[in-house]
Structure 1
């Protein structure tokens, strides 16, 4: 994310409704401001994109997708508009940080990682049911609102594909982030719901293993490695339940027709997690009453960021895992 401060909108009120209060973050495509909705009195996250080039077109696409989505796992949009200089999208303002940041800090235990993935899939299933494919699912586009109980929002539908619409990209372009793009898309096929499922499979593999499945692969060889298929998670995490490993393997099937739907995979992940909890409950000594504190909870307060700032800044930028080889920032996005 760029460190440069975004330019304050020239008018006191944006679209005669939103009063910018302070910047939350900025990136290559624009900026996000905390703003007050003078009609309702609510604080909103106002995304501001210059009205020129592909960024403006993608902002309009993002706004169209957001207007169709009404699900607790998708960041809610309150409105969209434009003037002669900028495009604006008003989102709900919520606190939290990105899944990328939680993974980077090593604070997402297995149970929370699986539940986060299931919730992402619920939001995507809602989008897929409305003819929308995200095309850029990755940890930096997922916001963790409540980390203890796990509550997420899926962000940034700026690269979304609509069933009835042509894509914004030219033939040969593959919009998205390389490390999470599915094999069929690299072969030139159009994104489909199964492409989003692949991305969630990669994301969950990464969260459970602590590294990306293609970690260490030279950037020039990344596309070929993805087309070959993701490596199995078993060698990295032989302690995980077989049912969970199978669910992740199904999500990462090279053939998109063999992947489960987003809703079906969410169900499989929760069933696998529930089975593990039942097994642990049966094997736990009855005299033991305390639970081992997870590193996720232990570091939570120490690493907390100002409410809303970390996650909502992701609307225009993303953070990068520090342990990836040189060049991987291009692949991770």
Structure 2
């Protein structure tokens, strides 16, 4: 496999394009931000080897793109060749891919629906010109920077153009497996309906928070595609039924029954607008329960911190906890901010450096959960589960959180929060980590760096805590994948969590973790996972 071409800023490519910086690279080539000195504009310059499939694919992509004139299809501006490479200049659209937005958890329902509608409009235009994309997936959709949602459909390199000879060998299935329609796995040729299926998968993934066909092996992925996705309403009962039905119709196994892309785009917008129009005099039980849980967590964080850290007068922990809870009921964002801010003064009374270090952590946490403030308060589960010996159940607390990074952060910090609460009570540390001893040794420290080093030293001296936090974080990140595998997936997840929680700290040199409480905690977490799967109709 040839290495991606390396371009230099002081060298004009083809006497025309000045490389500015790399935008990405892969096995078949690289993409650079470059300035077209002749046209005085910035372009995205794709560079691929001329020999082999990569060069043919690039030329096929330009052939397909040349037929398209639509604001949602990325324009190919020029095609060039030299002895070694093929160069394709595209319009440059600053932004990030839909895959990056999904991984970050930054795509709300309205943005996901609008992005899906725009992709369908781009496909409707392409299909009308005789072009079938054949590789529609989040990595091939660019979200333009700026207010609102504006997408570009990328990479027509696998596109099939009518009347064109195919570059794919008989029996090959081009595209990315997780987004390939079932009829293509059966050997049928790609049609526009297969592109529509891929958009349905992306919408289901964006709205449900996990991929309907995610699996470890390609064989298992193909099997799940054949089984079909479960009804979206089972994952998101709060969405309009009509919207869920529209997404489900995009994923019907019968390609002939899938909606035409333009009609599907109109239906998505109309169905989602129904949610904005319909009266909302009553709040669902689920929403009320979620808000109540988040308010209780805010009260626990604020009240617990003030009770454990000597600073406020007697009775203030209850008062501040009540204020935090009521604030979270009214505004989850304000509740998160208030709960995170309360410990700053008590910590400052103990150590200015520790207060500064905590403030930096709190700001980072607030930034991470600004769009999901209720989830940011779930770390309060750690101090609740710790005294009961059930800290192994912490990963299940993050089950409803879509983003794996946020799930892992909640579970990991829950373990450390339980340790902090135990230290404040001068009780034994969780996970068999022993006693807190003389504490962190930061009293009077005015340096945030010094306080951070002291905390790091404390964790090194009690390895069960960071190791246990890492195990909990990994388990939380894997929750959707275990749930997607049904009962056996949940059982395997629970077994791995139990083994990791019991064995990992011991391997790190800590004392034995209490087996009974850990087993019960893992059992509870696994039961929650199984129940969440059972509540999802297929």
TM-score by length of 2: 0.52
CA contact (8 A) 2:178 2:214 kept: no
**Is the aligned partner of 1:250 residue 2:274?**
no
Higher relative contact order (CA 8 A, sep 6+): 1
How far apart in 2 are the matches of 1:46 and 1:291?
46
- Classify 1:16/1:135 alpha carbon distance in 2 versus 1 (closer, same or farther; 3 Å): same
**Is the aligned partner of 1:194 residue 2:193?**
yes
State the shift of 1:102 in Å. Answer: 0.9
Query: Which secondary structure does the structure 2 equivalent of 1:235 belong to?
Result: helix
Larger fraction in helix: 2
Instruction: Show structure 2 runs of 5+ residues with no match.
Output: 284-329, 334-366, 372-403, 406-476, 483-538
CA deviation digits over 1:1-57, x for unaligned, max 9?
Answer: xxx874127993333322223322211110111111111110111000011110111
Name the counterpart of 2:178: 179
Alignment of 1:102-141 (within 5 A): 102-141=101-140
State the shift of 1:238 in Å. Answer: 1.3
How far apart in 2 are the matches of 1:23 and 1:98?
15
CA deviation digits over 1:220-250, x for unaligned, max 9?
Answer: 2221221232222122111111100110111
CA contact (8 A) 1:180 1:199 kept: yes
Query: Which secondary structure does the structure 2 equivalent of 1:224 belong to?
Result: helix
Query: Which secondary structure does the structure 2 equivalent of 1:69 belong to?
Result: coil
**Is the aligned partner of 1:215 residue 2:220?**
no
Alignment of 1:49-128 (within 5 A): 49-128=48-127
Name the counterpart of 1:230: 229
Name the counterpart of 1:277: 276
TM-score by length of 1: 0.82
Instruction: Show structure 1 runs of 5+ residues with no match.
Output: 300-319, 327-333
State the shift of 1:218 in Å. Answer: 4.5
Higher CA-based Rg = 2
Name the counterpart of 1:33: 32
CA contact (8 A) 1:132 1:163 kept: yes
How far apart in 1 are the matches of 2:55 and 2:247?
36
- What is the root-mean-square deviation in Å for CA atoms of aligned residues? 2.9
- Classify 1:284/1:292 alpha carbon distance in 2 versus 1 (closer, same or farther; 3 Å): farther
State the shift of 1:196 in Å. Answer: 0.3
**Is the aligned partner of 1:153 residue 2:155?**
no
- Classify 1:7/1:234 alpha carbon distance in 2 versus 1 (closer, same or farther; 3 Å): same
Give the ranges of 4+ consecutive aligned residues of structure 1 lying more than 6 Å apart after TM superposition. Answer: 290-293
